[in-house]
Amino acid sequence: MNSTERKRWFGLVLVFFVCLVGFSSPFQHYAAFPTKLRLFSGQQKKLHYEMPVHAVVTVDPEMVRVNGSRKASTEVNLKNPLSLVPGRSGSTEMTLKLFGSIPFKTVRLTVVPDLKVIPGGQTIGVKVKSAGIMVVGHHQVRVTEGAQVSPGQLGGIRLGDLIVSVNGVRLNDVAKMASIVEKAGEAGTTLKLQVRRGGQLLRKEIRPAYDSEDKAWRLGLYIRDSAAGVGTLTFYAPDQGVYGALGHVITDMDTQSPIEVGEGQVVQSSVTSINKSSSGEPGEKRAQFIREGKVLGNVERNTAFGIFGRMKELPQPAYAGEPVPVAFAEEVKEGPAEILTVVGGQRVERFDIEITHVSKQTSPATKGMVIKITDKKLLAQTGGIVQGMSGSPIIQDGKLVGAVTHVFVNDPSSGYGCFIEWMLRDAGILLQTESQKLKAG
């Protein structure tokens, strides 16, 4: 065998051993283990290396105890799970050295204050008033027998625009807008509008036109100042007095633009019937606001992850009134889980689901997981996910991990969910992300 052949065989053997090591269990556990780890204070975390070797773990014992040790350095067997119990909040590093001397892994640890919330599941009625006048369409004003015009369209007003003030006066009431238009028309004056469009404030001027058929002054705009609907409460945080619901933004039904909330209420609601989902046709919960029902809370924010505001107490009836731990996005895994939701009246029930896919998200983004309804009872009653179920809390391993957000139109047994971490951030409870804490450290 010449030198060229020997080199070729040596290369093949080397590739074989590299592949063998790469597919070995210890290597896979090492490669998959994160270099950064976030922990809630007081919540135990177990790490699995499954390597039959001893190592020394070094970490600040005031922040994290390893296998219950109060020492800075602890000898462990990596074949067994590492038990981490975080204590004081802050950031630190945990180092692992094989046999006490060979560097193996360095993990950046961030400990945040313990957080528990009460899962919801109750169907709620939502009534919101926009922070201005929403433009949802244009129409033509018949000024003479053969002439039509839309002053608003000619003035550069577009669908989805939010009129926030007229002649320097803030406005979010359609009736008041109609009165102002009438007075300006009779006086022959031009209205000066301040319009919000895509985060920008624009100034527009419109002169009302007289409708010869309706005998009234018009702007040629279809406008709306409020919206209402039903959804599901995701969580209530009793220590902070805040809630989160829906899991997705409320949009105007005509323009599909997010509604900028000026004020709003969350009220008691009861499910009267279910229009079942089928392939190509998502169903819906039919519900009604309970007459004389008390206001449960207000609506302060409408974000990509739902609505948020203040709430004085957990709405009743509830599935359980005890707070549960919450999970960071990286803790959510594929496998069995459960949702809490209402399919009749006001009774919250627990149903089985499967988390079939988890997206790796290090910053807020929707569609964090794909879920599939596996509960036969729920499938028989609803056909899968239906409108009005959005916001239903997702529970996995005793932790609140996310909320139902959307249904797959062609497969209503499946849909999307968002991570609870992003909802807690928008609620103002989980204030800092890991990256922010690391910069602060």
Q: Tens digits of per-residue pLDDT, 399-425?
A: 999 999 999 999 999 999 999 999 999
Residue 14: the pLDDT is: 43
Residue indicated by tokens 């970490």: 59
The catalytic site residues sit at 248, 375, 390
User: What residues form DSSP beta bridges with 64?
Assistant: 86
Who has greater pLDDT, 303 or 9? 303
Contacts of residues 139-144 at CB distance under 8 Å and 24 or more positions apart, as own/partner, are 139/218, 139/220, 139/221, 139/222, 140/220, 141/209, 141/210, 141/211, 141/218, 141/220, 142/211, 142/212, 142/213, 143/209, 143/210, 143/211, 143/212, 144/212
**CA dihedral angle for residue 227, residue 228, residue 233, residue 234, rounded to 10 degrees:** -30
DSSP alpha helices (H): ranges in 310-429?
A: 376-382, 420-426
One-letter identity of residue 59? V
Phi, psi of 222 (to 5 degrees): -90, 125
User: pLDDT tens digits for 427-441?
Assistant: 999 864 443 443 333
Distance CA 45, CA 40 (A): 9
Average pLDDT, the chain: 87
Name residue 207's beta-bridge partners: none
CATH code, residues 140-219: 2.30.42.10
Dist. CA 160–CA 199, nearest whole Å: 12
Residue 403 to residue 416: CA distance in whole angstroms: 9
Is the domain spanning 117-125+227-426 CATH 2.40.10.120? The answer is: yes
pLDDT of res. 1: 55
Q: What is the rounded distance in angstroms from the CA atom of residue 223 to the CA atom of residue 318?
A: 38
What pTM, to 2 d.p., does this model score?
0.84
What gap in Å lies between CA 326 and CA 117, rounded to an integer?
7
Which of the residue ranges 47-56, 111-120, 429-438 has the most confident prediction, judged by mean pLDDT?
A: 111-120
Q: Is the pLDDT of residue 301 over 80?
A: yes
pLDDT of 143 = 87
Token pair for 166: 């007229």
| Size of the chain in residues | 441
Digit-coded pLDDT (tens) for 312-331: 889 889 988 899 999 999 99
- The CATH T-level fold of domain 33-114 is Immunoglobulin-like (2.60.40)
Residues 371, 171: Cα–Cα separation, whole Å: 42
